[in-house]
Amino acid sequence: MYRNILRHPGPTPIPKKVQLAMAQDIYSHRSSNFVELYREINERVKPLFGTKQDILLLPSGGTAALEAAAVNAVSPGEDVVVITVGAFGDYFVGICEAYGFNVHKLAIEWGEACTEEILAEFLMPLSNIKAVFCTYNETSTGILNPINQLARVVHSQTNALFIVDGVSCIGGAPAEMDNWGIDILVTGSQKAMMLPPGLSLLSVSDRAWKAIEENMTPSYYLNLLSYRHWAENGMTPNTPAITLIYGLSAVCDLIEEEGYEQTIARHALMRDMVRAAMRSLNIGLLTSDEFASPTITTILTPEGLDLGNYLGYLKKEYHLDFAGGLGPLQGKVFRFGHMGYCFPSDILEAVSLMEAGLQDFNYSFDPGAGITAAQKVFLNRK
């Protein structure tokens, strides 16, 4: 039995310490033990969001938390802007249309980021915008949007809430919710947070709470006012993902042991290692360096290679598991995840196995070029 070398954008590998934490005997979510754990975790997760606001824990995937952000803050018929740079930005479009919002879609070409200039021009003729939705890290393309700059544009040109999907980057990319002016920030457990799927985390600004209190859209299971009320007592309104919350405590341990700034720097280092390796192998990258994600790299199909056969071969022969492309990029790219429980040594391993597969497919390159380039970035990291 070989281990699966999972280099996906989620789910991602789970540390042994987290697995063991989740294997503890379970106790009631109405017990004093849970209240103590909930309140402790709430404080420990705040630095990852860059906020003084409470963190709400929803027993759901990230998409449900994105839906909660939308349905609680906006009413049917109100105008919203959705910035989409890929498949998961389109999720926000679908959510907003499902609830009857009047959607103004700012669609950016896949592989490009939304800049503050583009957003400013798009917002100029619009008025009475209730919220602007944006994906921070787009895993279908490997783009990290300049969220701090976009937030500045939103607040300088509108009175809209700025609602951000941070599902695939919180814990692996800088986040300063309060300083940047993000009104609702969402993440999920199965990405850089190093947990199995099933838990989402969400934080809400004072501005957004006021809008939520005034919003008349009905919601029951995803009612954030209910989550806020119960959180005051260290609980959730419904049965939470208790074992994942045990694991989240262990995740906090690991990040605190490494140091949050070091965790962010490690992700940036791994991004640079992957990009240097691909360039040395004459393999193209979808995105520019300026907006490249620290948690996932989207790689163009090597010239002359049957991508489907190559990825299948890597998984079967070398147990290396990459993700394929989505939407219009299907068959044209593959995605190299480097988030959460992933380290420079894992990048060197994956690049080495990639090279082995390329040789097996008679791809023309200088053997060892990718590993050497990635190793050089690592050795020059300081």
Q: Which two tokens stand for residue 345?
A: 């040594």
- Token code pair at residue 340: 């959460």
**What's the number of CA atoms in the CB half-sphere (13 Å) around residue 271?**
27
Find all residues with CB under 8 Å of 233, minimum gap 6, and list them: 35
Strand partners, 292: 143
Task: Determine the Cα–Cα distance for residues 239 and 234; give it in Å rounded to an integer.
Answer: 13
User: Which ranges in the chain belong to alpha helices (H)?
Assistant: 16-22, 32-49, 62-73, 87-98, 116-123, 147-157, 177-180, 206-214, 224-231, 242-258, 260-280, 307-318, 344-360, 369-379
**Which residue ranges make up the annotated binding site for substrate?**
335
Q: Do you find a cis peptide bond into 59, omega within 30 degrees of 0?
A: no
Residues annotated in a binding site: 335
What are the tokens at 12?
Answer: 């991602």
Ordered DSSP codes for 147-159: HHHHHHHHHHH--
Integer Cα distance of 299 and 25 in angstroms:
43
Query: Which residues, including other chains, have CB under 8 Å from residue 200's CB and lie 6 or more apart?
Result: 57, 58, 60, 61, 62, 64, 65, 167, 186, 187, 188, 189
**DSSP codes, 179-238:** HHT-SEEEEETTSTT-S-SS-EEEEE-HHHHHHHHH-----STT-HHHHHHHHTTT--SS
52: helix, strand or coil: coil
Rounded to an integer, what distance in angstroms lies between the CA atom of residue 63 and that of residue 93? 12
Rounded to whole angstroms, how far apart are CA atoms 164 and 92?
10
Distance CA(334)–CA(323), nearest Å, equals 6
